Amino acid sequence: MIAVRAESLDFISVYCPNGKSTGHPDFPRKLEWFDSLAEYLSEAFHPIGRHQLVITGDYNICPSPLDTWDEDLLRDTIFHTGAERDRIGRLAALSLDDLFRSLYPEERAFSWWDYRGGSFYRNQGLRIDLMLGSAPVRARVKRVYTDRDFRKKRGEETPSDHAPVIAVLE
């Protein structure tokens, strides 16, 4: 986690633990990490609604069935468990909104695609890179999008399996 204040905007970038699989010892550690994040945010930014706060990064959780290419196939696997989605819900309960979902409540869009099996070109992805924001930030959001073109292979360069998520604020 890296945090910076620029002007009146508090901006936090996170890489949340992956958890590896639901049976791996890292999975409960992932859940504990999210509990610690919620505790930190509630203490450091109390009340959150008074702050211009953005928390962005790789959350390694699909917040809802709309955020995965195949919920039925992947339900209860890593990134798709009730325990993980509960942790995103706890952040929302702190008055943090998913900035993409606040503008596009029914749109299916992804930010990550596995390298294997041509999943990018078949659009078999996950939306695990999120931007959460306080109400004052949400009121300033004009657009949030994933830059899919950045994810495409160019020449000999190997792209990341993630694409950048960008928010435009007024």
Q: Is the pLDDT of residue 31 over 90?
A: yes
Average pLDDT over residues 41-61: 96
Q: Which stretch of DSSP H or E encloses residue 15? A: strand 9-15
Confidence of residue 130 (pLDDT cuts 50, 70, 90): very high
pLDDT at 157 over 90: no
Cα three-residue angle 13-18-23, rounded to 5 degrees: 155
- Residue 127 tokens read as 């939306």
Full 3-state SS string of 132-156 = EECHHHHCCEEEEEECHHHHCCECC
Q: What is the pLDDT of residue 156?
A: 83
Q: In order of start, what are the domains of the chain with their CATH numbers?
A: 2-169 (3.60.10.10)
Give phi and psi for 164, each to the nearest 5.
-65, 140
CB atoms within 10 A of CB 58: 18
Q: Which residues are catalytic?
A: 15, 58
**What's the whole-number mean pLDDT along residues 130-159?**
91
- Distance CA(15)–CA(18), nearest Å, equals 9
Find the mean pLDDT for residues 107-118.
93
Q: Tell me the CA distances in angstroms from 144 to 23, 47, 103, 133, 164, one per residue in order.
A: 34, 25, 8, 12, 11
The pLDDT-based confidence of 91 (bands split at 50, 70, 90) is very high
The token pair that represents 146 in the structure block: 């994933």
- pLDDT for 120: 93
Q: What pLDDT does 13 receive?
A: 98
- Whether this model's pTM surpasses 0.85: yes
